[in-house]
Amino acid sequence: MTETVAGIEIPDSALAREATALIRDTTPPLIFHHSRRVYLFGSLQAAARDIRPDPELLYVAALFHDTGLVPPYRGDDQRFEMDGADQARTFLEAHGVSEADAGTVWTAVALHTTPEVPYAMAPEIAATTAGVETDVLGLNLAALTRAEIDAVTAAHPRPDFKKHILQAFTDGFRHRPDTTFGTVNADVLEHFVPGFRRTDFVDVIENSAWPE
């Protein structure tokens, strides 16, 4: 039977069920529950904005969006968002999803910490960011009803979530600080990693190899 939370159906295809099992079994509860909330909040925010993402693609994007923070998905050489995006695309292509749809999910995951830009792109990309911004930053909560918010958090509780997600961010990229240049991730390291100093955009320009 299809699971419904806050009026939103959880995709129940074979692909969605396998994605659920994979992420539930290979990531901490913090990431799994957050990712499911991102799908639910993203779907609700999409409805409020009158956009219609493909539920299955949005669901996979939401499930994979933070996998780059944790083993076995966490890498060393690129932004954590790209680690998750690569894993999502590989998963989808292995299940026969078209290159175009897998590319949309890749972009949704890769841009989920980028302000504004996703909202001008495909519905799945916009809705992924909307779900993340609602659950992590508390943005646009006023677009949802109290009953919807309560239903989502009852299904996937967020006890002490702020503290735990900030710790997950710190652990997820403190070993690759250069990848945080120009991103919100640098804010995390500046708060929680002693001695970290973000790369300054102006300094890069002024100290570049160009003589003028």
pLDDT in tens, 7-64: 999 999 999 999 999 999 999 999 999 999 999 999 999 999 999 999 999 999 999 9
Buried b (16+ CB within 10 A) or exposed e, 178-203: ebbeebebbebbeeeeeeeebeeeee
Look at residue 1 and tell me whether its pLDDT is greater than 80. Answer: no
Q: What is the pLDDT of residue 106?
A: 99
Q: Cis link prior to 157 (omega < 30° from 0)?
A: no
Phi, psi of 134 (to 5 degrees): -70, -50
For residue 144, the surrounding DSSP H or E stretch is none
Question: Residue 2: pLDDT band by 50, 70, 90 thresholds?
Answer: confident
Asked if the model's pLDDT at residue 121 lies above 90, the reply is yes
Q: Quote the pTM value.
A: 0.96
Give the amino acid at 137. L
Residue 34: per-residue pLDDT: 98
Distance of alpha carbon 190 from alpha carbon 52, whole angstroms:
37
Euclidean distance between the first and final Cα of the chain, in Å?
Answer: 66
Tokens at residue 132, please? 């993340």
What pLDDT does residue 134 have? 98
> DSSP assignment of 80-142, as one string?
HHHHHHHHHHHHHHHTT--HHHHHHHHHHHHTTTSSSGGGGS-HHHHHHHHHHIIIII-TTGG
Q: pLDDT band for 136, please (50, 70, 90 cuts).
A: very high
Q: Three-class SS of residue 207?
A: coil
Per-residue pLDDT at 191:
97
The one-character DSSP state at 197 is: -
Q: Cα separation of 115 and 119, whole Å? A: 9
In the predicted model, what is the mean pLDDT of the chain? 97
The pLDDT of residue 112: 98
Name 31's Cβ contacts closer than 8 Å, sequence gap at least 6: 23, 66, 67, 69, 70, 168
pLDDT one-digit tens code per residue, 181-206: 999 999 999 999 999 999 999 999 99
Q: pLDDT (tens digit, 9 = 90+) per residue, 74-106? A: 999 999 999 999 999 999 999 999 999 999 999
